[in-house]
Amino acid sequence: MAAILDKRELTPVTRLFVVDAPLVARHAQPGQFVIVRVSDHGERVPISITDFDLEAGTVTLVIQEVGRTSRLLCALEPGGELLDLVGPLGLPAPLPQEGHAALVGGGFGAGAVFPLARELRRRGVRVTSIVGARTAELLILRELLEPASDAYEPCTDDGSVGYHGFTAARLGELLEGGAGFTCCYAIGPMPMLRAVAETTRPHGLQTFVSLDPIMVDGTGMCGACRISVGGETRFACVDGPFFDAHQVDFEEAVVRSKMYVDEEQAALAGAAAS
């Protein structure tokens, strides 16, 4: 169990939680995730670690309401606790020691790129953060990420703040403009990851995407999270979550991410009927 110490509403559908997890905080490295379970009947869901504080013994998680479990999570309050929290899982993001990194974050990923930015800056790597949201109110954690970046590039679909358009388009413009990126890391929804991969591919820019497939145990035991990378099957939970964006079979990953859409819709219909 992990006590919830703090909670903030970042957008109407996004919450930030600070939870007490000293062992996780002690071992966490940028790019890793935790698995959480909310109730005795609950599923095990992976969540990227947005921040970790060794001294306070806490980890910060950003959760966007997308399904049943994330809604239950977002309803939790300080003083309460997560029934299960286990981690840090996965491998740390493969970060360089020098150069100029483009960090692309969309949705919850706008928070999850933060620990990468902090570590890259600590190593002396220049950081440009490109974060996207539908509209200005949905853009999260600017106060955290902007000071941790050498350049901060907000993008909105409606142009209400920053660049008017998708993050991948902004990334493409910066690349064309000779930004001099030496590597790129993207965290966020699958369509964005795929767009980033296609944007950097012609430039030959080394790009890693953080994949977030369906998981069960998160320790390499079940293979639910398998991803085809360069024609080989890898497990996102133990071999990832970061993979070479230009080698990932996104089409398959998208199909697999929708594995249980039918079951979930049937369950919702059943719940509505009863």
Partner 1 sequence: MTLIHPTKTEMPALDPVARRACWDEVAVGYTVERALAEARRCVQCQDPVCELGCPVGVPIRDFVRRIQLGDFAGAADVIRTRNLLPAICGRVCPVEHQCEAHCATVGRLEPVGIGRLERFVADWERSHPRDGATAREVKRPETVAIVGSGPAGLTAASDLARLGYGVTVFEALHAVGGVLRYGIPEFRLPKAIVDEDVERLGELGVEFRTDVVVGKTVTIDELLDELGYAAVFVGTGAGSPKFMGIPGENLKGVYSANEYLTRVNLMRAYDFPGYDTPVKRPTRAAVIGAGDTAMDAARVSIRLGAEETHVVYRRSEAEMGARHEDFVRAGEEGAIFDWLTLPVRFLPDAERRVRALECLRMELGEPDASGRPRPVPIPGSEFELEANLVVIALGTNPNPLVPQTTPGIEIDGHGCIVVDPETGRTSRPGVYAGGDISTGAATVILAMGAGRRAASAIHGYLQGGSDGDVGA
User: Interface residues with partner 1 (CB under 8 A)?
Assistant: 23-24, 27, 37, 39, 41-44, 68-69, 83-89, 216-217, 219-224, 226, 228, 233, 238, 252, 255-256, 258-260, 263-264, 267, 270-271
CB of residue 108 vs partner 1: minimum separation in angstroms?
20
CB of 11 or CB of 257, closer to partner 1: 257
Buried b (16+ CB within 10 A) or exposed e, 232-242: eebbbbebbbb
CB of 83 or CB of 151, closer to partner 1: 83
CB of 61 or CB of 141, closer to partner 1: 61
* CA–CA separation, 208 and 175 (whole Å): 16
Q: How many Cβ atoms are within 10 Å of 261's Cβ, its own excluded?
A: 9
CB of 2 or CB of 184, closer to partner 1: 2
Question: Any idea how long the chain is?
Answer: 274
CB of 44 or CB of 246, closer to partner 1: 44
- Consecutive H or E run containing 22: helix 22-27
* CA–CA separation, 116 and 93 (whole Å): 8
CB of 157 or CB of 267, closer to partner 1: 267
CB of residue 109 vs partner 1: minimum separation in angstroms?
22
* CA–CA separation, 97 and 126 (whole Å): 10
CB of residue 2 vs partner 1: minimum separation in angstroms?
9
Integer CA distances (angstroms), 55 to 48, 59, 123, in order: 20, 11, 21
CB of residue 84 vs partner 1: minimum separation in angstroms?
4
Integer CA distances (angstroms), 171 to 16, 100, 105, 166, in order: 27, 13, 11, 9
* CA–CA separation, 24 and 174 (whole Å): 36
CB of residue 216 vs partner 1: minimum separation in angstroms?
5
CB of residue 81 vs partner 1: minimum separation in angstroms?
12
